[in-house]
Structure 1
Amino acid sequence: MRILLSRRIAASAVLTLGLLGLAGCSMFSNDDPRYAPAPLTDYAPGISASIAWKTSIGSDGGYGFAPAVVEDTVYAATPNGKVSKVDLGSGAIQWQTDTDSTLSAGVGSDGRTTAVAANDGTVIALDDQGVEKWRTKATSAVNIPPAVGAGLVVVRSTDYRVQAFDAATGEPRWNVQRPGPALALKTNMQILVFDGVVIAGMPNGRIMIIDARSGNVQWEGAVSVSQGATDLERIRDVVGTPQVQGPLLCGVAYQGRMVCFDVSQGGRPIWDRPFSSHTGMTTDARQAYAADAHDAVHAFDLGTGNELWSQNALRNRRLTQPAVIAAGVAVGDFEGYVHFLSRSDGHLLGRLDVGGDPLVSPLVATTRGVLVQNSDGDLVLVGAN
């Protein structure tokens, strides 16, 4: 797995560096044993995991592509321009549309409007029959999935601007821009539209809550503050998906911190701790889970931030953002395995090979199991009990 760093200059140059270089070792040698992926180990199985269904939805995958689940329906896209609606229970494709574009990100959906982004910054919206509704241009490239809700399609572009378009017409509704760093990660990040607001993590290490109707910024909180002598050292991107649990809003940054804010008390931080993640965090009602920069998986008490356990058996296996289901915490790795860990103490419960290519899209928890979008353009539902 590789993380892309985009430099904010007129030519929009892109520099590609491996995770090993970002982690602090030599960029010119990947042979340091400190960064070697941990071998798979034997363990006593605690769950039974199997593939419930597997469906081809196009070709390729990568950062910026993750399935969206609305009730019992899955919406997904692939870089070759295909957008699909899939039945969650069976994996049957209900419709598939070719946008005739090379896509950079997708999808967002509320079950009525489904949106993707093309390489040139074009935002494309489809209705729930797969028929194109409109196309419009963002101010620059879009590398994270659009978010759809509250009558809006919302994107975050590479000029550090959050832009909202009318879901019915594509007309611009509002935009919010913030200054950003010289370098920003290109990895898995997502925007939320939730309860009348838009929640977005930004490359400057901050989370914003924006009123969906007006575009007014209601609150901003710092997950991490940029520091260091070089552009690489100053990277503090908020990664993954912001997490909402009751009054708590939580986020994590690369080379930064993990923080939970209490939005019922004006966004006051109730805890924060040093932490670096390149994929993001997830939560349930009691705990927060994240893989650190070396892919050790950690669990923290959601109310206090106290570390409850860590699991080092998957070190350097380039893990995805975790997903939480009743059976445990699931993460994908660079060899196409999905691993299941106990929520109570982190011990390994199960492992399933869903494909030989790296899993880079975040795993998605559903009522039927864990949904995986792999790098071959397949959707896979993994059941575990």
Structure 2
Amino acid sequence: MKKILSRLLMSAVAVGTLIGCASEEDTIIMAPVPVVTSEFTPDQQWSASAGKGVGHFFSKLAPEYAYGKVFVASRDGLVKALDPENGKTLWQNDLEEEVSARLSGGIVAAYNQIYIGSENGQLIALNQETGELAWRVVVDGEVLAAPVADSNMIIVNTSRGMLIAVDQSTGEQKWTISTDVPNLTLRGDSAPVTVSGGVFWGTANGRLAAAIVERGQLIWQQPIGMPQGSTEIDRLVDVDASPVVIGSTLYIVGFNGQLTSIDLQSGRSMWKRTYSSATDLATDGSRIYLVTDKDYLVAVDARSGTELWSNKKLEYRQLTAPVIVNNHVVVGDSEGYLHWINRTSGEFVAQQLVDDSGFAVGPTVTPDGYVIVTRNGDVKKLTINK
């Protein structure tokens, strides 16, 4: 029960609400909506529905564009494939059980299937052409982060500190790696990434871990943050962001930790900068973009770690992870605004109010536009009209 209560508490921390003893110093105030003169207005191509969406739950079910389709899902179990040209439903499958399906990790497309994880400790595979269930397996812990596909395996990082690889066609478990999970953690997990035969992921005890994909053999662990302070909250060091790889260099950030650049061959850090974040990074190849725990949007030079700019005007607006769309950095917020920022200067270039239910995830880029999904399940495809 203590672990459940702890995770519920830290879900409040993750969305920037009040924690601890009430006082004026503790009160977190959301910044007002910035006044922006938009340089462009997106054109809406179509709208559709992803059922009830994710509501106010943690689930981060970003749309996936693959196989000439847009795949969307709702937390209660509705999964759809949409035509990217007109938004019409090509197929749908309702995975709801007697209790909610509680879908939360995904969507990932690979091997002619799509894969989604759930808070019920399940990993699910659907045929991408028909939506039919290919397999459903139980894994050790909630699947809150997107899986990754590599070497005919699907690899997931669970809330119990288990990195689990299963066969992509059958769901049969191939290997498992266990890492320590502190008593108190943030609500979320790092989505693993694979490159050059290795798999890399953040852990709840403040480390970046690396393993060999084929064998599931742990290679090394690199500390990203060290517990400090007198309280359990002060000592949180979760690495919940997914690593980003540019060439032979990996970038990762932790909560109460550091933004760290790591050489993949040696596993040694090249530079470290003090930033605290539990949100995925974005990159355009030369810069790293991150949203801090105060919802500051920051750009850092990938080679040196030098801060290029910091935009603090969206403080505590509960931002999504940043996404690069049409050469802009884009974030959504809890009140349903999309904010477009110049990659070079960090200044606002456009802003749109989409839906007051807000955003859990940022846009998904398609070849001719981008797709957004709101917390209440509205799906829209838009293009930029300058």
**SS state of the match for residue 166, structure 2?**
strand
Provide the residue aligned with 2:290 in structure 1.
Answer: 290
Q: Secondary structure at 1:15's aligned position in 2?
A: helix
Match of 2:350 in 1: 350
CA offset digits 1:154-210 (Å, max 9, x no partner): 222221000011011111100000112111211474222445433222112222232
Shift, 1:368, TM fit: 3.2
Classify the secondary structure of the residue corresponding to 1:276: coil
Could you say which residue in structure 1 is the equivalent of 2:96? 100
Alpha carbons of structure 1 residues 152 and 273: separation in structure 2 relative to 1, 3 Å? same
Q: CA deviation at 1:7?
A: 5.8
Higher mean alpha-carbon deviation, 31-40 vs 295-304, is at 31-40
Measured against aligned partners, the alpha-carbon deviations of 1:246-289 in whole angstroms (never above 9, x if no partner) come to 1111111111111111214x122121111011323211111011
2:372 paired residue number: 372
Aligned match of 1:207: 208
Residue 29 (structure 1) shift: 4.4
The answer as to 2:38 corresponding to 1:45 is: yes
Measured against aligned partners, the alpha-carbon deviations of 1:337-378 in whole angstroms (never above 9, x if no partner) come to 110000010110011122111212244344334432321123
Give the CA deviation at 1:33.
9.6
Match of 2:332 in 1: 332
Q: Whole-Å Cα distance in 2 between the matches of residues 183 and 362 of structure 1? A: 27
Contact 2:53 2:375 (8 Å CA) reproduced = yes
Written as runs of structure 1 = structure 2, the 5 A alignment for 1:48-197 is 48-61=41-54, 62-70=58-66, 72-101=68-97, 102-105=101-104, 106-110=106-110, 112-128=112-128, 129-187=130-188, 189-197=190-198
Between stretches 290-299 and 362-371, larger displacement belongs to 362-371
Partners of 1:378 and 1:233 lie apart in 2 by 37
For residues 111 and 50 of structure 1, the distance between their equivalents in structure 2, rounded to whole angstroms, comes to: 33
- 8 Å CA contact retained: 1:201, 1:238: yes
- Contact 1:121/1:142 (CA < 8 Å) preserved in 2? yes
Distance in 2 (CA, whole Å) between partners of 1:117 and 1:171 is 15
Partner of residue 299, structure 1: 299
Matches of 1:144 and 1:163 in 2, distance apart?
12
Shift of 1:331: 0.3
Give distance in 2, aligned partners of 1:57 and 1:95: 12
Determine if the alignment matches structure 1 residue 16 to structure 2 residue 25.
Answer: no
- On the 8 A contact 1:21/1:27 being kept in 2, the answer is no
CA RMSD across the alignment: 2.7
Q: 1:98 and 1:270 mapped to 2: Cα distance? A: 47
- Residues 240, 87 of structure 1: alpha-carbon distance in 2 compared, 3 angstrom cutoff: farther
- Map of 1:232 onto structure 2: 233
Gaps of 5+ in 1: 1-5
* Alignment partners' CA distance in 2, 1:195 and 1:113: 23
TM, length-normalised to structure 1: 0.88
Superposition deviation, residue 12 in structure 1:
7.9
Q: Determine the C-alpha separation between the residues in 2 that align with 1:116 and 1:202.
A: 20
- Give the secondary structure class of the aligned counterpart of 1:16: helix
Q: 1:20 to 1:103 in 2, by over 3 A?
A: closer
1:314-325 mapped onto 2 (5 Å cutoff): 314-325=314-325
CA distance in 1, matches of 2:32, 2:215: 51
Aligned partner of residue 253 in structure 1, secondary structure: coil
Indicate if the aligned counterparts of 2:64 and 2:109 stay in contact, CA closer than 8 A. yes
CA distance in structure 1 between the aligned counterparts of 2:5 and 2:16, rounded to whole angstroms: 24
Unaligned runs of 5+ in 2: none
Alpha-carbon distance in structure 2 between the residues aligned to 1:274 and 1:383:
36
Query: Distance in 2 between the 1:45 and 1:330 partners?
Result: 13
**CA contact 1:295–1:315 (8 Å) conserved in 2:** yes
Is the 1:188–1:362 Cα contact (8 Å) retained in structure 2? no
- Alignment: residue pair count: 377
Question: Amino acid of the residue matched to residue 226 of structure 1?
Answer: P
Counterpart Cα distance in 2 of 1:347 and 1:251: 25
Larger deviation, residues 192-201 vs 222-231? 192-201
CA contact (8 A) 1:224 1:257 kept: yes
Residues 286, 303 of structure 1: 8 Å contact kept: yes
State the TM-score, normalizing by the size of structure 2. Answer: 0.88
Amino acid across the alignment from 1:107? I
Asked if the contact 2:34–2:314 (Cα under 8 Å) also holds between the matched residues in 1, the reply is no
Q: How much does 1:89 deviate?
A: 4.0
Cα distance in 2 for residues equivalent to 1:155 and 1:373: 23
What is the CA–CA distance in structure 1 between the aligned matches of 2:136 and 2:379, rounded to whole Å?
A: 26
Separation in 1 of the partners of 2:279 and 2:362? 8
Partners of 2:346 and 2:46 in 1: how far apart?
A: 27
Specify whether residues 121 and 22 from structure 1 end up closer, same or farther in structure 2 by C-alpha distance, changes over 3 A only. Answer: closer
Q: Please tell me the residue identity of whatever aligns with 1:211.
A: I
More moved, 177-186 vs 113-122: 113-122
